[in-house]
Amino acid sequence: LVVIDEAHMYRGIFGSHVANILRRLFRLCYVYGSSPQVVCCSASIQTPRQHFSWLVPHQSLQPAARTPSDDPFPNTNASPEITVIEQDKDGSPCGTKHFVVWRPTPPPVTSFDPNEPHNPDLTGSTIFQSAQILATLVAAKVPTIAFCRGRKLTELVVEYTHNVLRRQNQSHLIPRVKGYRGGYSVESRRAIEAQLFRHELLGVVATNALELGIDIGSLECTLHLGYPPSIASMWQQAGRAGRSGHDSMAVIVCFDSPLDAYNTSLGSAMFAKPPEPVVLDPTNLFVVKQHLQCASLEMDLLSPRSGTLDIDRIKNIFGSSLVLHLIQSWELQVQFAPVTGYTLPLYVPHIPPQRFATLFVYVNSVDAGGETSFPFATSSHAVNRSTMAECNQGLAVPPVALQAALFYVQTPTMEVDEMASHGGCPPRGDNVKWGANQFMWNADAEEGAAVWLDST
């Protein structure tokens, strides 16, 4: 079972990457015969069926010419059925929600003379009036969470709220009003969260860090500095209160901005609007290219066992040569050199014992002349210390068409590391296999050690 909570957050380029990660996960599940069920949760999404169908893998990895009986495992990624539970069947506790839109009145202009000293009246600002409202709710013992658009606003509202409580002789309530934002230490954030759950705090001023994933039944009111950036965000923030099933209130304090003025002019129609559509594109070529590189390291790209991909579509992503981009491109070297340790195919002297490794990318399946294993080598190539050369780390090996080859290292004591071997068979027809070799010794490379090569 795979559970995707707050599924509407997986949108845009971030959602496209997550969708490709899910496809890689399902591809590996398919190999091991697993068919996980996916549950997506979201309370603020306009087209859930369309969004889930893009987010969750649903296209078959098998070519149309193959039949299910040809595959060693059932195709677990072919067109899953999507069941949507509509909002009228929502079982989450929620009472009636009352919205209050507060428009601060700007202070009157007393003079237009630029030479007169300017004494700004902060009492009419959105920040100060939000602090007054929060202090009033805290004094009335109404648990409230206030949402701000940035860290600076968060600190200002907390400071102003403390000042208002101090002037109202409510200093004993100051410790029960705290801020919550990014930049706090993990210990501080966890301590504030624990105080929230223990009902020790009456007021929390936060950024959208607390917009999702918080379920505190004691909250009765949400305070918003300005309209939230989207309809979905507005309902997510307002939904933090009233989760015990009782009525709740959401107070929106408007900024002096055209957008807030327009939203206010809509009146109750503003709250009848559906959430914005969620858009992502898991077929984005720039995104798919990166994930295909990762998938090639996880398992063969083109194999009946792992599911095949449309070679024409791959050519559209990587150009005329898939392998040229996967192995020779500098982008792949930079991203995966720390993982695979790309090296030039030269002997490496004076390094600690390691295993020999070979990276192959196959553009044809086993049936078409792809990977097989050879148990023995038929010829050997002796290593002479005088012919060893330094190896440049971080340089990718140019793609080379290989014949059948098996590499492994034999120590001077004639002990062979069977786990260090990797083999292949010659290509047939137009099918080409490309390889990038990394030579690593499983023993010190003394004179007389041999690298065995089967070139038949």
pLDDT band at residue 152 under the 50/70/90 scheme: confident
Measured over the CA atoms of residue 408, residue 410, residue 414 and residue 418, the dihedral's sign is: negative
Does some domain include residue 310? no
Angle 285-298/330-340 helices, nearest 10 degrees? 30
Q: What angle do CA 435, 440, 446 make, to 5 degrees?
A: 130
Q: Which of 314, 318, 298 is nearest to 306 (CA)?
A: 298
pLDDT digits (tens, 9 = 90+) for 191-235: 888 888 888 888 899 887 776 556 676 788 999 998 888 888 888
The tally of domains found in the chain comes to 3
Q: How far is CA 153 from CA 127, 129, 150, 194, 257, in A?
A: 8, 13, 5, 23, 16
The Cα 340–Cα 292 span in angstroms is: 16
150 and 27 within one domain: no
Please check whether residue 308 is in contact with residue 62, taking contact to mean a CB–CB distance below 8 angstroms. yes
| Residue at which a domain ends, from 211, 237, 272 | 272
Q: What is the residue type of 328?
A: Q
* Residue 384 maps to a domain: yes
Looking at the fold, whether 138 and 247 belong to one and the same domain comes out as yes
**Are residues 101 and 228 part of one domain?**
yes
Number of neighbouring beta carbons within 10 Å of residue 289 = 17
Range of the domain at 251: 97-108+121-272
Please tell me whether residues 206 and 238 are part of one structural domain.
yes
Residue 279 tokens, joined: 């858009």
- Residue 302 to residues 5, 200, 312, 364, Cα–Cα distance (Å): 32, 58, 12, 6
What integer pLDDT is reported at residue 18 of this predicted model?
93
CATH number where 197 lies: 3.40.50.300
212 shares a domain with 153: yes
Whether residue 330 sits in one domain with residue 398: yes
Residue range 86-115, pLDDT digits in tens: 666 666 667 788 899 988 876 666 666 666
In a domain, 306, yes or no: no
Residue 293 lies in a domain: no
Angle between helices 285-298 and 311-318 (to 10 degrees): 120
Q: What is the pTM of this model?
A: 0.57
Say if 34 falls within a structural domain. Answer: yes
> For the residues 431-442, what does the mean pLDDT come to?
36
Do residues 261 and 361 both lie within one domain?
A: no
Does some domain include residue 116? Answer: no
What residue spans of 142-185 are helical by DSSP H? 151-167
pLDDT digits (tens, 9 = 90+) for 270-315: 888 888 888 898 888 888 878 877 877 777 665 555 554 544 555 5
